[in-house]
Structure 1
Amino acid sequence: MLAAVADSPGRLADVLTLRDVDGPADPGAGEVVVRMLATTVNPSDEVSVSGAYGSRTSFPMVPGFEGVGVIVAVGPGVPGSALGRRVLPLGSAGNWQQYKRLGHSWCVPVPDDVPDEVACFAYINPLTARLMVDRFCGPGVRTVVVTAATSAIGRHLAELLADRGVTPVGVVRGTPGRGVADPSRWRAVVATNEPGWRERLRAAVGPRGADVTFDCVGGGVGGDVFALTAGDGAFVHYGLLSGTPLPADCFTGGGGARVELFRLRDTVQKDDGRHLPELFAPVFADLRRGRLHTAVGTRIGLGELAEHVKGPAAGRAGKVLVDPQR
């Protein structure tokens, strides 16, 4: 079968190769084989390949945490009715290949009325946004700041916050040609490449500061936004797009907001995945209603993926949808 393989840690563009490899062995007890129907590329794939998670990443590896497939073989102990079922194969990387063997408990059934190109993106951004808003935006939360507001998850957060009557303040880099998807969902959008952005952000959140900040940037910008989060508020840090950690003084206390480190893996990687269908139920309900959808900007076959990741990321609109069968 065809697979995208990283033989060693490094930049995805430098270490990813396409090759023919042996297909999966027959599934063992409690296992299934999934024929991949669609997958995509996320920052989490790039971070894993970089070697940042050395304690739990071994090479060579097949990246790809997100995707949808159909069960084509089942091992002992798996109901025969699972055959032909579309699923999200979770719990590990490995979606950048044509077939994936994994435990049946890590396969989340996909509702029949959710198309492949919607289900493909149901995991990382929609589930993260839903879990964070449910966990940190209870009654009384009125002022919320979202960094990387032009991102897919930024759009999802704004959509979910609107249900709670909250219009967030967005922080963006100010990249030409990139803007928030629906300006009406944002109280203000502040670009960090413009002089005086900190003062404008302070004015937008008010003298008390933000009740909750959702930050996936880190670095100096994350530190500056942390300083504008209320002392009794929550600074939810769930990514590191800048590649630079938050300043150390964000963690030292001293009257500042509490830092909440949200890792989707911590919620997903428990109970051998048996809790996952319940976890995804509200996400699938949103997707059915036309919410939390991800715009597809590029469609490619798996055979084109290695060249695709070498191209410039700047200016790409929407996500890449990868067909593993070509």
Structure 2
Amino acid sequence: MYGQTICFHEFGEPQDVLEVKQREVTPLMPDEILVEMIVRPINPSDLIPIRGAYRHRISLPCIPGYEGVGSVIDIGSNVSKSMLGKRVLPLRGEGTWQQYVKTSASLSIEVPNFISDDEAARSYINPLTAWIICKELFKRSNNSFLLVNACNSAIGRIFAQLSVVFGYRLIAVVRSSAYTEELLQLGAWHVINCSQSDVYKTVMDVTSGQGVHAAIDSIGGKEGYELARAVRRGGFFISIGLLSGLQVDWQRIAIELDIQSKIFHLRQWLQRISVDDWQNSFQQIFALLRQKQLILGRAEARYKLIEITKAVQIAELSGQQGKVLLT
């Protein structure tokens, strides 16, 4: 059996290096399942590796895609037949930008009926990252301030909603006032338009000169450093993305700022948790979705795998609010 697959054989701009090919589905191992994909999102975290940001740990050719949802159509000899036909997230296995995905049965996440395909497809990378940071890394209280840049992004909107769940005060940084009202409605305590206001000065004004307890940077480069400046002594600065394509000046942060700083990699968290903890984390995400405490927003557009060039171009348009989905 062959399936349609997106892959890249060299690093570069996604619209230039991504190809659509037919790939043979190899036999399943005893503990594996085969999933026919329904839908998967295009995330910045999918595109950044294609450009070569993490080339030291990516083997070519590579199939991109970290998340998505599909139906189980075949099982290995050690897997219960009850898995057949189940809707699952086939995670931590092969890249999801293909028609058929193989993964370990124990690591697949069964999707409850009250979760739509679109929600399920996007319930991994951004929700889980934000959940872990809020639950395990950010020492929060009702008086804690969390500063997040690129807050109009999908994960920024999640941090805004989780501020209500966890009880911290979110200061959202965006580049346009068009996002202010929505972020306030989602739960943000204050919104800074960095194209009109200085982030550091505004943060000091609204925190009575104390600075924030923690900051989450998705941009890197100069903007990441400016975010770190606004963290109070002993606070946390966490990098979760490189939308600018540039690393934060970690040496400067270490020399000039008396704060704790680190890069958060979801894959490192995955390496140290049990299968039970992995499964339980999704049950908490699904519970938030069911209770409408977490809303992932609308899809911007849908494209078939064969339309990948157009899909990535649309996904990277400035001002994009909804996710682009591959069907």
Q: 1:211 to 1:20 in 2, by over 3 A?
A: same
The separation in 1 between residues aligned to 2:162 and 2:68, in whole angstroms, is 23
Instruction: Give the letter aligned to residue 19 of structure 1.
Output: K
Q: Which residue is 1:85 aligned to?
A: 86
Structure 2 Cα separation of the partners of residues 115 and 273 of structure 1: 24
What's the counterpart of residue 32 of structure 2?
A: 31
Aligned to 1:160: 162
CA RMSD between the two structures: 2.1
Report the residue type matching 2:308 in the other structure: L
State the match for 1:101 in structure 2. 102
What's 2:317 paired with?
313
DSSP 3-state at the match of 2:182 = coil
Deviation at 1:144, TM superposition (A): 1.5
Deviation, structure 1 residue 137: 3.7
Q: More displaced, 113-122 or 197-206?
A: 197-206
- Displacement of 1:158 after TM fit? 1.2
Is it true that 1:41 corresponds to 2:42 in the alignment?
Answer: yes
Identity %: 30
Contact 2:180 2:191 (8 Å CA) reproduced: no
- What is the 5 A alignment of 1:194-205? 194=196, 196-205=198-207
C-alpha displacement of 1:206? 2.7
Q: How does 1:235-254 map to 2 (within 5 A)?
A: 235-252=237-254
**Normalising by the residue count of structure 1, what TM-score does the alignment of the two structures yield?**
0.91
- Unaligned runs of at least 5 residues, structure 2: none
Name the structure with the higher helix share.
2
Relative distance call for 1:71 and 1:45 in structure 2 (3 A) is: same
Structure 1 window deviating more from structure 2 (194-203 vs 34-43): it is 194-203
CA–CA separation in structure 2 for the residues paired with 1:122 and 1:226: 28
Q: In 2, distance between residues paired with 1:145 and 1:180?
A: 17
Distance of 2:275 and 2:306 partners within structure 1: 30
1:276 aligns with 2:278: yes
Give CA deviations for 1:189-226 in whole Å, capped at 9, x if unaligned: 21222254432232123311101112112211111121
* Structure 1 gap segments, 5+ residues each: none
Map Cα deviations across residues 254-300 of structure 1 (whole Å, 9 max, x no partner): 66111132111112244685542112111010111123332211122
Distance 2:257 2:199 in 1: 24
Partners in 1 of 2:168 and 2:272 — Cα distance?
A: 32
- The answer to whether residue 18 in structure 2 is matched with residue 16 in structure 1 is yes
Q: Which runs of 4+ in 1 moved over 6 A?
A: none
Normalization by structure 2: what TM-score?
Answer: 0.90
Q: Is the 8 A contact 1:141 1:212 kept in 2?
A: no
How far did residue 166 of structure 1 move?
Answer: 2.6
1:188 paired to 2:190 = yes
Q: 1:115-154 to 2 correspondence within 5 Å?
A: 115-135=116-136, 136-139=138-141, 141-154=143-156
- What CA distance in whole angstroms lies between the structure 1 residues aligned with 2:171 and 2:208? 11
